[in-house]
Amino acid sequence: MTDPSDVRTAVADAHRRGWALALAATARVARDLDLAEECVQEAYAAALVSWVRDGIPKTPVAWLTTIAKRRAMDAVRREQVFRSKLPLLVESEAMEPEEFAPEEFAANEMAGEPAPHQPAAGEPAAGEPALGEPGDDVVPDERLRLIFLCCHPALAQDAQMALTLRLVCGVSTRDIARTFLLSEPTMAARMTRAKKKITAARIPYRVPGAAELPDRLSAVLGVIHLLFTTGHTAPSGAALVRSDLVDQALHLARMLRELMPDEREVWGLLALLLVTDARRATRVDTQGRLLRLEEQDRSRWDRAAIAEAHDLIVDGLRGGRPGRYVLQAAIASLYAEAPAYEQTDWPQILTLYDELLRIWPSPVVALNRTVAMARVHGPMRALAEVEELERAGQLAGYHYLPAVKADLLRRLGRTNDAALAYRQALELAQNDAERDFLAARLAERLAGPDHP
Amino acid sequence: MAQYAILIFANASHDHAALSPEDRAAHDRHGEAVEKFGGTMLTAFALQPAATATSIRGDVVTDGPFIDAKEVVAGFYVIEAPDLDAAMEIARRNPATQQGGGVEVRPVDSGFVGVPPTAG
């Protein structure tokens, strides 16, 4: 007997590390996402019982994957009639028999019968199929296919996020619903609809070819980034940060870096998330009030994360023109690495923004650039650019625009205009911490520098 | 292989009948893109302007397209393609996407194409 609490820890660990791997491999056999999900869920449930009895296998994820795949295989065989399948535009090597080699072992497990003898914890008994021996460990890594499937551009973006959390991260539908402030049935229906579309429209389960890869990868990066920003500044509700989402986004970015080690934009995204999240502990005070960058206690920033991001950025800036995530990370990193807010390297940040705006002409980037511009060229020139953006109208409804404008007006001594702009920002902001912050700025009629 | 219907939407004020000869020629060449990206054209139709449409909802007959919208269906075709990625590659090359309109890709559930009786 293995200590049940050790088993629970091992299962939880295998869930975090191995869910995506097990699910991706099982989806390939099941050719049906619901069935795959069910089988993987059952495999984890089986582990809770089986590992107590037989010991924790040496390679828990391989064990779980084998069990889940076997269940899927059985279900497919039982069903006889093939339902509509995930199109697998590859040879169906998943059906090769050797992947299901440990016959007797799995049969034992599935029957739920007590093992004939009690092996010591973590030590496979003699004669037992050597799950966890080298060979079984080589689970073909299908996680990339799964990620590209979940982030397919033919799916709505909220469905992409939800599917990624469910299928790649193994987050329960109930928790996903709670994260997005929806009822569980609503979230479940949304995910079912997406899965039906995957099957009915034959969204392929594969990693895109070289020609499509840049576009498709940027969709994946976009989903991970959106999960992060949704967690980092929750779009509505009481708390500023939803740390579970932030953690899942970081987990996904790390996974992607492991799976696509040569993609510089993947490094850039991971660096951006790391450096942004390094300030998590200091973004609000003990009352949950939003703190401006210059008010935050820099000694409490996560220096290890900032250093890790730094190395990724240095590598990412080498070898050709950097992409948007590398540049965004570089900008965030300059903010984070300055010993004090006033010592921030504004000219360098402005240069990076110029480059970023060139490759990614987004009005949000243009707005953020005006903050650096105000530092380098003064608030007057920055205000002119903000007003130009306002006239262009693309940022209508975006509360950061009046917030940035208000701060510039205040610094120019135009307090009445500033108050008006703060009121506009307040009307548009939905997160309570941000609203409180803006209300406070409005109330005090503002002295001192600001940060968007 | 799967079948996809591609519905062509045009601006209501600018549907098929209003196309310039160049635009029409671009549509006529679209069949090449279908082949090039691994699809097969099964059937294709361009429709008369939406102003010629008659709609019936329940017992009520109205003059004009079924849904009153800025864009109207101007035509449709059915292709066979390996998967949605291939169908999208084909669909995004439809000239309508560059002429102020766009396309909708719908997987086909079932259907057949009849042969009209020989004209007498």
pTM: 0.80
- Per-residue pLDDT band for A281 (boundaries 50, 70, 90) equals confident
Alpha-carbon distance of A153 to A159, in angstroms, equals: 10
**Is B120 part of any domain?**
no
- Would B115 be classed as within a structural domain? no
Indicate whether A369 pLDDT > 70.
yes
Residue A315 has pLDDT above 90, yes or no: yes
Token couple for A72:
């899927």
Q: Does A314 touch chain B (CB under 8 A)?
A: no
The pLDDT, as a whole number, for residue A140 is: 60
Rounded to two decimals, the ipTM of the complex is 0.85
Q: How far is A332 from A309, CA to CA, in rounded Å? A: 10
Does the CB of A212 have a partner CB in chain B at under 8 Å?
yes
pLDDT one-digit tens code per residue, B32-63 = 999 999 999 999 999 988 889 999 999 999 99
Residue B35 structural domain: 2-107
Interatomic CA distance for residues A374 and A376, integer angstroms: 6
**Residue A231 backbone zone (phi > 0: left; psi -120 to 50: alpha; other: beta):** alpha
Give the pLDDT band (50/70/90) at residue A445. Answer: low
Å between A378 CA and nearest CA of chain B: 42
Can you give A86-151 as a three-state secondary structure string?
CCCCCCCHHHCHHHHCCHHHHHHHHHCCCCCCCCCCCCCCCCCCCCCCCCCCCCCCCHHHHHHHHC
- Asked, for residue B118, whether it belongs to a domain, the answer is no
User: Which pLDDT belongs to residue A288?
Assistant: 76
Collect all residues with Cβ–Cβ distance below 8 Å to A144 and sequence separation of at least 6: A207, A259, A260
- Tally of structural domains, chain B: 1
Distance from C-alpha of A254 to C-alpha of A270, rounded to nearest angstrom:
7
Report residue A48's pLDDT band, with 50, 70 and 90 as the boundaries: very high
Distance CA(A363)–CA(A377), nearest Å, equals 20
**Which chain A positions have a beta carbon within 8 Å of B4's beta carbon?**
201
Burial class (CB in 10 A: 0-12, 13-18, 19+), B47: middle
More confident of the two residues A79 and A312? A312
What's the CA angle centered on A376, arms A370 and A378, to 5 degrees?
75
Q: Would you say residue B16 has pLDDT above 80?
A: no
What is the per-residue pLDDT for B100? 85
Residue B5 Cα, gap to closest chain A Cα (Å) = 11
Residue B78's CATH number: 3.30.70.1060
Neighbours of A361 (CB within 10 A): 9
Interchain contact, B88 vs A154, CB within 8 Å: yes
pLDDT at A305: 96
- Determine which of A85, A89, A195, A202 to mutate to test the interface with B (most B C-beta atoms within 10 Å): A202
The closest of A375, A372, A386 to A425, measured between CA atoms, is: A386
Q: What's the pLDDT band for A2 if we cut at 50, 70, 90? A: confident
Indicate the range of A71-75, A96-100, A309-313 predicted with least confidence.
Answer: A96-100
B114 lies in some domain? no
Contact A212 B85 (CB under 8 A): yes
Structural Rg of chain A based on CA atoms: 26
pLDDT one-digit tens code per residue, A123-141: 333 333 444 443 444 556 7
Return the domain boundaries, chain A.
Answer: 4-118, 144-363, 397-452
Domain assignment present for residue B18? The answer is yes
Does A211 contact B at CB distance below 8 Å?
A: no
User: Cα–Cα distance between A205 and A50 in angstroms, integer?
Assistant: 32
Q: Per-residue pLDDT for A367 more than 50?
A: yes
Contact status, residue A1 vs residue A52, Cβ threshold 8 Å: yes
What pairs with residue B76 in β-bridges?
Answer: B7, B45
B12 lies in some domain: yes
Q: Does A202 touch chain B (CB under 8 A)?
A: yes
- Specify the long-range contacts of residues A3-7, CB closer than 8 Å, at least 24 apart: A3/A121, A4/A52, A6/A56, A6/A121, A7/A47, A7/A48, A7/A51, A7/A52, A7/A56
- Higher-scoring residue by pLDDT: A441, A112: A441
Is any Cβ of chain B less than 8 angstroms from the Cβ of A208?
A: yes
Query: Once rounded to an integer, what is the mean pLDDT over residues A169-183?
Result: 88
Instruction: Determine whether the interchain pair A212/B84 forms a contact, defined as Cβ–Cβ distance below 8 Å.
Output: no
**Residues from chain A contacting residue B1 (CB–CB below 8 Å):** none
Pick the residue from chain B with its C-alpha nearest to A196.
Answer: B107
**Joined tokens for residue A417:** 């205009």
User: Has residue A209 got a pLDDT over 50?
Assistant: yes
Supply the mean pLDDT for chain B: 89
pLDDT at A168 over 70: yes
| Measured distance CA(A374)–CA(A336) in Å, rounded | 19
pLDDT of A118 reads 40
Model confidence at B111: pLDDT above 70? yes
Is residue B117 assigned to a domain?
A: no
pLDDT digits (tens, 9 = 90+) for A8-32: 999 999 998 899 999 999 998 888 8
The pLDDT value given to residue B7: 97
In the structure, what pLDDT confidence band is assigned to residue A121 with cuts at 50, 70 and 90? very low
Confidence of residue A153 (pLDDT cuts 50, 70, 90): very high
Residue B112 lies in a domain: no
The secondary structure element, H or E, covering residue B86 is helix B84-91
Percent of chain A with pLDDT over 90: 60
Distance CA B69, CA A224 (A): 35
pLDDT at A78: 80
Cα–Cα–Cα angle for A45, A46, A50, rounded to 5 degrees:
130
